[in-house]
Amino acid sequence: MPYIVPTGVHLYVTSWVPSEPLHGRSCRCLSFCSALPPRPIYAALCAVNVQWSEWSVALGNLEFDLFGGCISVHIGAGQLYTVWSDELESAAQAMAAATCRMQETIHAILKPTSLKPMSSAFMQELKQTDAESEDELFAVLAGEIHDPTFITPIALTFPTIAALSRLSSHSSTSSSSAASLFSDSDVMSVSAPASELSKLCVHQRHRSAM
């Protein structure tokens, strides 16, 4: 059918002006109605054994005019609608090509790059850099750590058990003697005021008797 239709309308090509679909003789306009299509379309339908009534229902049983060249449709007294033209086709192809190139560019940007294996020389350089960094760190730590200014004395020898027992007995004897001395002094300090009081009482009785 795509071959038969262009062949059938070949007679109208000489009068078509693609940029001005409405210009020229009326024979360049293909008028469609629900009864019968234009002669080239009808011949193409008969060649492929398709009924026009099926197409007419699919087209909504509308009456319209089809203009060749810049393929346009004119329905009743309404606006002329361009369906296809060389300019539109070229613009569509250019848009599709630009979209394809843009997608390829985006895909290339977002595609993860494969990591190349590192060479042995680069690995050796990394190890050397790590070693130097560790040496610098330890040097800084060594500079911050100093010897203590005061050292606690540490006894190198310890007394035997016998010496410890003598020291403990001596300390207990000193404690008992100190306790006894404290008791005697307390008794003396308390008994002294009592004897003075008894002397005063005797002296007072003696004066009363006189």
pLDDT tens digits for 158-169? 656 655 556 555
CA 168/CA 171 separation, integer angstroms: 5
Mean pLDDT of 149-161: 62
**What is the model's pLDDT at position 68?**
59
pLDDT band (50, 70, 90) for residue 58:
confident
| Most confident option among 25-29, 35-39, 93-97, 139-143 | 35-39
pLDDT tens digits along 67-109: 655 566 656 666 666 665 655 556 566 677 777 777 777 777 7
82, part of any domain? yes
135, part of any domain? no
Return mean pLDDT, the chain.
Answer: 65
Residue 136 pLDDT greater than 60, yes or no? yes
Task: Lowest mean pLDDT of 98-102, 185-189, 202-206, name the range.
Answer: 185-189
Domain boundary among 70, 87, 104: 87
| CATH code, 80 | 3.90.640.90
**Sequence-separated (6 or more) residues with CB below 8 Å from residue 81:** 72, 73, 74, 75
46, part of any domain? yes
Work out the burial of residue 76: count CB atoms within 10 Å of its CB; fewer than 13 is exposed, 13-18 middle, 19 or more buried.
exposed
SS3 66: strand
Residue 44 pLDDT greater than 50, yes or no? yes
**What is the model's pLDDT at position 190?**
45
Query: Which residue range(s) make up the domain with 19?
Result: 4-87
pLDDT band (50, 70, 90) for residue 203:
low
Question: 166 vs 55, 98, 157, 176, CA distance in Å?
Answer: 133, 110, 18, 16
Q: List the structure tokens of 17.
A: 């002006």
Domain boundary among 36, 70, 87: 87
**What is the model's pLDDT at position 72?**
63
**What is the model's pLDDT at position 195?**
59
49, part of any domain? yes
Domain count within the chain: 2
143, part of any domain? no
201 CB-side CA count, 13 A: 6
Q: List the structure tokens of 202.
A: 């005797």
Domain boundary among 87, 115, 150: 87
**What is the model's pLDDT at position 6?**
59
Residue 209 pLDDT greater than 50, yes or no? yes
**What is the model's pLDDT at position 99?**
76
152, part of any domain? no
CA 162/CA 165 separation, integer angstroms: 5
pLDDT > 70 fraction of the chain, expressed in percent and rounded: 34
**Helices of type H across the chain:** 4-8, 39-47, 52-58, 86-110, 120-144, 161-209
Residue 49 pLDDT greater than 80, yes or no? yes
Q: List the structure tokens of 2.
A: 């795509």
145, part of any domain? no
Mean pLDDT of 141-147: 63
132, part of any domain? no
